[in-house]
Amino acid sequence: MGNSVSTGSDKKNDQSAQISQDLETLGSSSVSLHSPEKQAAVYRLRQNLVQSRSVPEKLAACAKIEQERYALWPTPPSPKSSAPTTFDNDHRAMVADRVRGLIYGCALGDAVGLATEFLSRRQVQDFYGNNTLLCPQPARVYPDTHRIMWQAGDWTDDTDQMIVVLKSLFHCVGTFPQENSISNEDLSMLERDFATRLLDWKEHGFADLGDEGGVGMGQQTKRVLTSLGFVEHPTHVAQQVWQQGKCRAAANGALMRTAVTGLPFYWDLSKVNQITASICQTTHADPKCVASCVSMATLVALLLQRKDEEIGLETENDAQTIEALIQESLDVASRYLPDEESAQAEFKDYVQVQSQTLEALELDDPSSIGYTYKCLGAGIWGLRATTGTTTDPSCMTFDEMIQTLVSQGGDADTNAMVAGGLWGCRRGFRQLPSEWIAQLPHAAWLEAHVQKVLFLLDLLPPVRENTNESKVS
């Protein structure tokens, strides 16, 4: 007999059999969570279920972003000599570093948080203990069917949706007025554009990265996206869905993606709030969600407005300065809540009191892990972790802050994304761990989007002409 030839059909059948066997291993209670068999199953399932892209394909995806053209965003008006937005070259470089720190901080927090998402604090401790370094690609990962939906080191739907927001901002903000407030017509255009892109992401994901659809979105967002008339009238549909749920859904699905709404017009809080509220209300109508998003975006804008000394970096007034910014964001955001004392008091309690410690936030409480105020509280806790000088034990590095936060379990990727963004926006990209960035499989694609933001905000360094005369030999 001649040697048998393996066909494509045979390979597909073998792969399907391996997937079934690995899924059975993951679900088996007779196989220890700590066993090498389960880790091997996770590795193979990620290889078989998640498409990856070759280096040339990744470069082509980056080039596609770079080739996109949009109308330039408005830039800060010419400042007065004593204004906090004095826009010299040093300040431009500082703002650019913070913008990059914001976006990468979000993506890194999201990627690390996947390792402990939906686990209790005890489950995190029992599985990871003190010997596993939590990072985008930890040595081992909790073996279940949730974590196999992403390749090692990847961010989740949280960062995906933030990038969808960015793409809408790229497309729309350049048409907004520099001086006057943004019109309702312009805001409606932004909402419809975002709704269209979000629905396309749900159906297809980012095809250039190998996605076959958006993975991991929350139930609130999914209900709104699948409702009739969403693209045409997104905020109306979101309001209806919220009311049908008896006005109880104050989920964090809008907050997780909102950091970048603090970038356009960051020198004008009124416009920041208009854009942020519109993006939020496209899927989340609850005033608590709107207030959470406005608070986050306001903090981003305030951090970009101030110079280092004005936000207390490396000064004895460090903590006091950050508390003043938090208070200002609270004052601005509370206007989006009902006037009732109970509504105002709960918001203030989460922002000012419960966010002081992770224990008070109880992030792994199964009845409220997705509550928008808890997520905002975790983010503000992360911002407070930047206070003190870099030699002060109370000042956490980025990796220390993220590891401490995700060890709490709960909606860890979302909490760490918000906290990571605020930490990065204050301390800047240069203080983020480069070894973590190297573990992101799509870091170059993310950088292409960052470069687009910096270009649209006129934050790229000026090209210096070579004035040296050529030497004649």
Which residues sit in the known binding site for Mg(2+)?
156-158, 411, 413-414
Shortest CA distance to 389 belongs to which of 308, 327, 303? 308
The CA distance from 179 to 77, in Å, is 9
Based on the number of CB atoms within 10 Å of its own CB, is 136 exposed (0-12), middle (13-18) or buried (19 or more)?
Answer: buried
Residue 122: phi and psi, rounded to 5, are -70, -40
Please, are residues 116 and 128 in contact by the beta-carbon 8 Å criterion? Answer: yes
Q: Assign 3-class secondary structure to the chain.
A: CCCCCCCHHHHHHHHHHHHHHHHHHHHCCCCCCCCHHHHHHHHHHHHHHCCCCCHHHHHHHHHHHHHCCCCCCCCCCCCCCCCCCCCCHHHHHHHHHHHHHHHHHHHHHHHHHCCCCCCCHHHHHHHHCCCCCCCCCCCCCCCCCCHHHCCCCCCCHHHHHHHHHHHHHHHHHHHCCCCCCCCHHHHHHHHHHHHHHHHHHHHHCCHHHCCCCCCCCCHHHHHHHCCCCCCCCHHHHHHHHHHHCCCCCCECCCHHHCHHHHCCCCCCHHHHHHHHHHHHHCCCCCHHHHHHHHHHHHHHHHHHHCCHHHHCCCCCCHHHHHHHHHHHHHHHHHHHCCCCHHHHHHHHHHHHHHHHCHHHHCCCCCCCCCEHHHHHHHHHHHHHCCCCCCCCCCCCCHHHHHHHHHCCCCCHHHHHHHHHHHHHHHHCHHHCCHHHHCCCCCHHHHHHHHHHHHHHCCCCCCCCCCCCCCCCC
Q: Residue positions in the annotated binding site?
A: 156-158, 411, 413-414
